[in-house]
Each structure stands twice: as C-alpha cells, then as structure tokens.
Amino acid sequence: MTKQQLAGIDWDADSGQVARQLIGVTLLVDGVGGRIVETEAYDQGDAASHSFNGPNQRNIAMFGPPAHAYVYLSHGIHWCLNLVCREAGHGAGVLIRALAPEHGVDRMMVRRGTQDVRKLCSGPGKLAQALGVTRALNSAALDAPPFTLLAAPQAVEVVSGPRIGISKAVDVPWRFGLAESPYWSRPFR
C-alpha cells in the first residue's frame, strides 16, 4: 500500500478535504485509539496555521511529506497531533481534535486518570494524552508503527463549522465532525 492509499485518504489534497476524509477513519497509536470524530484543517495561507509564517524549528514537520505526524506542545501543557497533507514544502495539516475511544480504553483511562469514556479523547490535548502521543512522534510516518490508520468501513455523515480555540481566521468553516457523535470536544453550532 502506498502512502497515497493509506486509509483511503488523498493525502495530496488540500487540508479541508483531508480533514473531512479523516472523519470515520480509525487511528491507533501502539494499538490504542478509535474512530476519528472531529478534525480541523490548517494551511499555510491561513493566518491561524502554524505554517503561516513559513518553516521554523517548531513547525518543520508540517512542511514535510504528506502522511506524517506533526506534534507540538500547546500552551506549554498539552501535546497535539496533526496529520500532514499536501505536497512536501507546502505547510498544511489536520489537527485531530477528538475520537471515539474503541481500542485500549483501559490504557486511556490510566493515562487520563478518569473512568469517564466521554472525557478520554474529547479534545486535542486529551486525545494526545490518552494515545500516549509526545514530541517523540513528530515527523513519524503514519504508515509505520506505532501508527495504524484504517479506512472508515462505510460512508459517514460529516458536519462542519468554524474552528475553535483560535484567535485568527475564526470564521473559516474548517472544523469537521462525525454527525451526532457524543465524543466531540464541543458541540457544532
């Protein structure tokens, strides 16, 4: 399987398309994870994107080849997992905001310190903690361990709206979610 066929995603597409395509895909890190239920797209022409001002030491993975991880520390507290898309050198990616916990739930509960399944992966920082994502996975290929991505078994209904938790380009409707999911980080308007 080539990277361009990984999980049925067109990794060369723009970040908005990839963010939508990722809804319903199963994401596992060392066997822990579940179905992606919320994403946000970012592109170098987007003022809210880490790639907006060009490559630097922190964001260089975002300019790398598609189907790789871009992991960064948010507010000095939480790791966040992004999946790089478009051609190498462009600077685009998709933030994985939430997933439905399905595999390794006991490990997630220990890592997150909660028994509430709805609080395990309902936000990018929670998700990274539950899956054991750290900076060590920055630039890692998504088609090799510890990552596993599995195509959605069937077509899913996707909702969209403005991104959240940002102060620039807040009106851009590049947040996508699995319709009716109880695992979103926040409800869609």
Q: How far apart are CA 13 and CA 34, in angstroms?
A: 23
When pLDDT is cut at 50, 70 and 90, the band that residue 1 belongs to is very low
pTM: 0.92
Name all domains of the chain by residue range, CATH numbers in brackets. 11-178 (3.10.300.10)
CB atoms within 10 A of CB 154: 6
**Per-residue model confidence as pLDDT tens digits over 41-78:** 988 777 555 555 667 787 778 889 999 999 999 888 89
SS (H, E, C) 96-125: EEEEEEEECHHHHHHHHCCCCHHHCCECHH
More confident residue, 86 or 171: 86
Amino acid 89: pLDDT:
86
State the average pLDDT for the chain: 90
